[in-house]
Amino acid sequence: MARIVVLTGAGISAESGVPTFRDADGLWEGHRVEDVATPEGFAADPDTVLRFYDERRAALAAVEPNPAHHALAELERVLGDDLLVVTQNIDDLHERAGSTRVVHMHGELLSALCRSCEGRAPFRGALLNRPACPGCGSRDLRPDVVWFGEIPYRMEEILDALACCETFVSVGTSGAVYPAAGFVQQARAHGARTLELNLVPSEGTHFFHEARHGRAGDLVPAWVAGLLG
C-alpha cells in the first residue's frame, strides 16, 4: 500500500496548456459544464458532447507533460509502489511523463465506454462518426469520462490508499468537486500528514496541515527534491 498519495487536478496540466475549469470565465472551452459534462447534456445533444471530447482528445497531440508531471514520475521511479497518483484529469500527461501507478478517477480521453455492453477500450479516433464497439460491434460508444452525477472510478482502491498513506498531497485542484475534495479530510482522519500545492488557496485549504502556493511546475519539483534530497 502506498506511503504517499498525490491527488492531481487541472492545475497540474495548466502549464502544459490544458485549460482548467474554474479559473477564467466559468466556461470550459466555450461550453457550460452542464452541457458537456452531464448525462443529461449528452442525452439532449449527443453530437455536441461527442464533438467536444473529440476536440479535447485531438488537442492532446499539441501538449506535453511539464516539470510537475516529470517530478512525480521521477518520484515513482524511486518509490515504486510507495507512490500512488490519483488524478481527476482525463489527459494522459502523467503517463507520458513516465508515471505508471495512476488512477484516473474521472476517466480518460483516450478510452471509450460502450453504452451497450459497458466495455471500456483504448480509443484514439473520433466518436462523432459512431465507430463500432470493439467488444460487441454496436455503434453506441461514449467518452469514457465520469460526468457530474456519475460515480468516479476505483473509489474503493482510493479510499483504502487514503486510509493507509502517511502523506497526502493535493496538486492543482480547486477543492470544489466531491468526492475528491474530501480526500484531504479522509487521509487526515487516518493520520496522514497533508500538504496542498496550488496556485492559490483552494476551497479546502484550511483542511491541510501545510499549504504552499505557486505554480505546480515550481512547487512539485521542489517538494520532490526535498523528499529525495
Per CB under 6 A, does 70 bind ligand APR?
no
Q: What would the grid cell of residue 19 be?
A: 485549460
- DSSP conformation class of 143: E
Minimum CB–partner distance for residue 125 and ligand APR (Å): 23
Interaction between residue 123 and ligand APR (CB under 6 A): no
Q: Which is nearer to Zn ion, 136 or 225 (CB)?
A: 136
Q: Are 187 and 136 in contact (CB under 8 A)?
A: no
Give the integer Cα–Cα distance in Å for 198 and 71.
15
Amino acid of residue 132: A
Active site residue 206: no
Which of 133/174 has CB closer to ligand APR? Answer: 174
Of 41-49, 54-62, 169-177, 184-192, which segment contacts ligand APR by CB under 6 A? 169-177
Q: CA–CA separation, 145 vs 221, rounded Å?
A: 29
DSSP state string for 52-105 = HHHHHHHHGGG----HHHHHHHHHHHHHGGGEEEEE---S-HHHHHT---EEET
Contact 197, 38 (CB under 8 A): no
Q: Which is nearer to Zn ion, 110 or 227 (CB)?
A: 110
- Could you tell me how many residues of this chain bind ligand APR (CB under 6 A)? 24
* Shortest spacing between CB 139 and ligand APR, in angstroms: 26
Active-site option among 70, 94, 104, 106: 106
Binding site for ligand APR (CB under 6 A): 9-11, 14-15, 20-23, 33, 37, 88, 106, 172-174, 176-177, 198-200, 202, 215-216
Active-site residue set: 106
